[in-house]
A = this chain, B = another copy of it.
């Protein structure tokens, strides 16, 4: 049976050492494609290590594609040749599977799900164990309405070091996802105010305001940023915007418009700006853009961000930074609330940031996303449809827009056609409330959750079914 000596393990962890041994044997051809690996239990017993260690090593190998599992049978060595051979784009669609299982797609360009291999499970597991061991008092302490001091302070450091934002930890409020904070903001600024959102824009933001029973105004948004005349004519009190990277257009609001917005806000006592900076971590090229919050000297901007994009949407941790006056008001009116995020998650995340893991993780993710973007753009440029499309705003965030010059079907028909082939995609027009002003034939390619394999298949499908030019 397969066996390894742990004599040269050095400072490596058992599981990681075992993972490397097996991986190297696969790469060297000592373990052949299709060969069955020993069962976890037997292997563990044989090596004198725990089953969990073997399990972790297998899981890592499996996640990276070196081995695969067959339910109730075991683990097998994958075919390395197949993995390295990215299939040609042209021809042979017949062999491409179509998806019929609802919720299971060949490629889902609408998903924000994080790729399993990218989430730092082992670090997270280590840190949460440490927190459960070291911070028992803190874990059970009555949670403050703002969130734990540890997390607020870690976020403050992060904002200072990586975004040049000065945020007093005492002005930071932790929320259970952005939606939760939108609701808190309505309670803070008032149910009687008019909230302005960008059109096109993120539909959930509007949905949350509507569910909170406030008046909502959709304000046109284009390359020049949000339309200030419309903010005025609609009587908006609170403008909810994403100046660093608007969704779905990817547009970065020009600096002149930023100052204009601050001017707008400063003219009335009850005007405020919510700067929703939800994925600015992932601008992949270009200089970082200073936040509205950091150029505001009048206390009119609420800065808001989330860990949904940078870690996982299932984590449900977001935060906002309030200016002095609003912080005092929050304290007076809303401090009876308990922060809705589990303390042990807050404390774990604080360690994750403070011990430098968050920075490393972001770098890793940025590299991954950059590769994804480059791959997708290369695949498109190598495809036949490359002559029919143009790509825009690919330098900001985790998606870009693809426009078909000519398409002899509607956006809805095109989406439906793609869905039948296993591809889920949004049209830019889906994000417009004002349907009189739709942008036909432009689609949003959010590539963040897809593997290279999925991207390859998706582009091949797109290439074939692109409707005939008129």
Contacts and interface: CB of A to CB of B under 8 A. Distances in A.
A120 B470 CA distance: 68
Given A56-B170, A212-B187, A328-B52, A132 B140 contact: no
B142 A313 contact: yes
Contact of A121 (B132, B314, B327): B132
Interface stretch (A220-228, A260-268, A337-345, A434-442): A337-345
Contacts of A170: 15, 50, 52-53, 56
Contact of A316 (B119, B168, B336, B338): B338
Interface in A416-441: none
Contacts of A113: 140-142
Contacts of A119: 136, 139-140
B132 A125 contact: yes
A324 interface: yes
A213 interface: yes
A317 B51 CA distance: 28
Contacts of A212: 187, 191, 212
The A interface is mostly helix, strand or loop, or mixed, namely helix
Contacts of A341: 176, 316, 342
Nearest to A125: B132
Contacts of A191: 191, 212-213
A340 B116 CA distance: 21
A204 interface: yes
Contacts of A187: 211-213
A310 interface: no
A133 B179 contact: no
Contact of A336 (B149, B207, B340): B207
Q: Assign chain A's interface to a size class.
A: 35 or more
Contacts of A176: 176, 180, 316, 340-341
Contacts of A313: 142-143, 338
Interface string A51-75: 1110110010000000000000000
B327 A343 contact: no
A177 B336 CA distance: 13
A20 interface: no
A364 interface: no
A129 B133 contact: no
Interface string A34-63: 000000000000000011110110010000
Contact of A314 (B143, B190, B316, B331): B143
Interface in A146-194: 149, 168, 170-171, 176-177, 179-180, 183, 187, 190-191
A143 B308 CA distance: 11
A350 interface: no
Contacts of A141: 113, 314
A177 B337 CA distance: 10
A358 interface: no
Contact of A179 (B124, B129, B190, B338): B338
B133 A124 contact: no
A315 interface: yes
A111 B141 CA distance: 10
A203 to B, nearest CB: 7
A140 B213 contact: no
A383 interface: no
